[in-house]
Structure 1
Amino acid sequence: MPKYTKPRKTWQYSNEFKVKAVQLSLIEGVQVKEVAATLDIHPFMLSRWRKEYREGKIVADK
């Protein structure tokens, strides 16, 4: 098995981006996978953000 010398790159998204993505996915008739594909993120990540938004963990900056 090869050794990996460099850690994987993980993207960090701002709360503003997360809130916009969630708000787009909450529009009637729009599917989560469509929004995720448009924003180039995984649908599971968007679903997790939606859950965190409902729980109040993600809040829009004022």
Structure 2
Amino acid sequence: MPAYKTGKRTQQYTLEFKIKAVAWSHFPHPSVKDVAETLDIHPFMLSHWRKEYREVNGVCR
């Protein structure tokens, strides 16, 4: 029987990359969409990281 490959492999990002992306997205000039495009990630992913950051650090926005 042939071996089946599991779908697309997802990219793993380091914690340092995520923190820098979140920090950059909090600057007043770029939008979340612009930051995500620049980093070549989906805007939803960046929004998810921002939410995780708020939950972990108790930040209210």
Shared fold (TM-score, shorter chain, > 0.5):
yes
Q: Greater share of helix residues, 1 or 2?
A: 2
TM-score range normalised by the length of the shorter chain: 0.7 to 0.9
Percentage of matched positions with identical amino acids: 60
Code of the aligned partner of 1:53: Y
Unaligned 5+ runs, structure 1: 58-62
Structure 1 stretches of at least 4 aligned residues deviating more than 3 Å after TM superposition: none
Tell me the C-alpha RMSD between the 2 structures: 1.2
Aligned length: 53
Unaligned 5+ runs, structure 2: none
- TM-score normalised by L of structure 1: 0.79
- TM-score normalised by L of structure 2: 0.80
Say which structure, 1 or 2, has more relative contact order (CA 8 Å, 6+ apart): 1
- Cα shift readout 1:7-62 (whole Å, capped 9, x = no counterpart): 221111111000000000000121000000000000000000000011117xxxxx
